[in-house]
Chain A
Amino acid sequence: MKALLEVNHLTKQFGKDSKALTDVSFSVQEGEFVSIIGPSGAGKSTLLRCINRMIDATGGDIRFQDSQVMNLKKKELKQVRTKIGMIFQHYNLVNRLSVIENTLHGKLGTKSTLAGVLGLYSKEEKQQAVQILNVLGLNEMIYKRADQLSGGQKQRVGIARALIQNPRMLLCDEPIASLDPNSAKVIMDHLKKVSTTMGITVVVNLHQVDVAIKYSDRIIGINKGQVVYNGSAKGLTSEDIQRIYGSEADDLIFDIGGIHAG
């Protein structure tokens, strides 16, 4: 099967000599749940943003479906972006707008400029928004303002905004880093459900190794901008974790044997 996303020899350089990514290559299959783990500052966020070109990479190439992302012109890039949903650590909602308005923002990329500017959405689009919000358990909150929600609810609106794009892939940048364990579990369960029931590919940056092992099909470990592990979640050994986190590995607060047993 042809991979949905293919990243080849990707490098990114900030300024003259600070390299964020060095020769990163991996591919993601259709419907796969992939976690990217690594210490802070390893280049996880940069990698994720290079995929939809929120950051322009310095070298290498990226293929998403049939498009070479690196060579796309402005208009084609927007088209590709409509097929890739993105979820953020700080939710990034417009606080003064309602939940449903924030959800419908995901549709802007497919609308004409004027319709988008005036906020004119079709009946079908609104119905789809309500349906997605129902699935995420936000049916009571539809007309609430985004700043009245809790963190976990905000992140669910973030997921709704990404899902209404009818995306082929979701990029999640530390989606649970600002949440309490309970809300974090709800969000990860939703992401897993999205991947298994809707067949949407999910690529997620994570800080928590145990969460990554529990939810993902495959784990990509990054250290200092290089891929140091690329394999199944089950196959991740404590030596691998040592390699990914370097000297910090001993400070991680979990027991790897316990996780695999659970």
Chain B
Amino acid sequence: MEVKEQLRNVTAPADHLIGGRMPAKPLNKAAIVTRLTLYTLAVLTIYAFFSFDYKELDFMDALLGTFANLKTIFLEPHLKHFSFGHALYQVMVTLGLAFLTTLFGAIIAILFGLLAAENLSSKKTSMVIKSLVAFIRAVPTVLWVLIFAVAAGLGSTAAVIGMTFHSIGYLIKAYSESFEEMDRGVIEALQASGANWWQIVFQAVIPSSITYMISWTFLRFEINFAVAVAMGAAAGAGGIGYDMFMASSFYLDMREIGAITYFILAVAIILEIFAAKIKRKLKTA
């Protein structure tokens, strides 16, 4: 009986699929787990909305209030407590903070990135550095700034050290992975001609991965700009972030917040355009 069944399956293996539903994706363990996770999340979300403490808040009122606030912030911006020139100067301070921490981070990360790349150092060194770096990256930048603030006091020093620290961790990972992408044969060729480690690094490894390195560094610069704004507010590191903090918590001036937001937005867009230009140039060069 069973044998007959099997025989039929062998002769027409796709028969049972043609009649019934034919799933495009087989239902395996991974698919089931994904589906269960999504269902659980959906149920939890719905439950959350019912269990919030709404404090007799009228939804429509709140929505209209929010829109009114947004309108004041974005459609009626003004500068009251400082001039346009001052704001520009403060934006430069924030950019400076981002630039300095990216530069420090990049220089230190090149050295450790080389040591963390498996093809350029030993497996052991690479693993030690990579796990240390994974730990550094796991702790958010803001937390590093606050940790260093214990020793340096809340302010620009703690911000520079903390942001540099996290940038180093980020860039070591990015750089070492770019180095590892490199063709093993090129290194072998230079080794075979008697070149030493430093010569190989500067003559073959860095020229081969320079495009990746620059685009990763620029990405980190953009991240550091955003973090620098936040640090101005949270850690008293100065710059436009501090003015935003004053406008919101001290003067309660929503229009000024709007003006500052536009400033930051403008800088972010300029950075983005600049980054796109650099990348295009690197690709064709």
Contact = CB atoms under 8 A, between A and B. Distances in A.
Interface in A28-85: 52, 54, 78-82, 84-85
Secondary structure at the B interface, as helix, strand, loop or mixed, is helix
A170 B207 CA distance: 26
B199 A111 contact: yes
A243 interface: no
A200 interface: no
Interface string A101-117: 00001101111010011
Interface string B240-277: 00000000000000000000000000000000000000
A12 B192 CA distance: 19
Nearest to B210: A96
B194 A110 contact: yes
Interface stretch (B27-35, B91-99, B141-149, B182-190): B182-190
A165 interface: yes
Interface residues of A, number: 34
Interface in B189-248: 189-196, 198-204, 207-208, 210
Nearest to A95: B208
A232 interface: no
Interface hub of B189, B195, B198 (most chain A Cβ within 10 A): B189
B210 A52 contact: no
B195 A109 contact: yes
Interface string B147-168: 0000000000000000000000
Contacts of B191: 54, 81
A217 to B, nearest CB: 24
A105 B196 contact: no
Contacts of A82: 193-194
Interface residues of B, number: 22
Nearest to A87: B189
Contact of B185 (A52, A92, A105, A161): A92
Given A92-B185, A116-B202, A119-B203, A105 B195 contact: yes
B204 A79 contact: no
Given A108-B199, A116-B202, A96 B207 contact: yes
A252 interface: no
A190 interface: no
B12 to A, nearest CB: 40
Nearest to A162: B193
B195 to A, nearest CB: 4
A239 to B, nearest CB: 36
Given A92-B185, A92-B186, A116-B199, A105 B204 contact: yes
Given A88-B185, A111-B199, A117-B202, A105 B208 contact: no
Interface of B: 183, 185-186, 188-196, 198-204, 207-208, 210
5 contacts: A86-B193, A94-B186, A94-B203, A105-B195, A119-B203
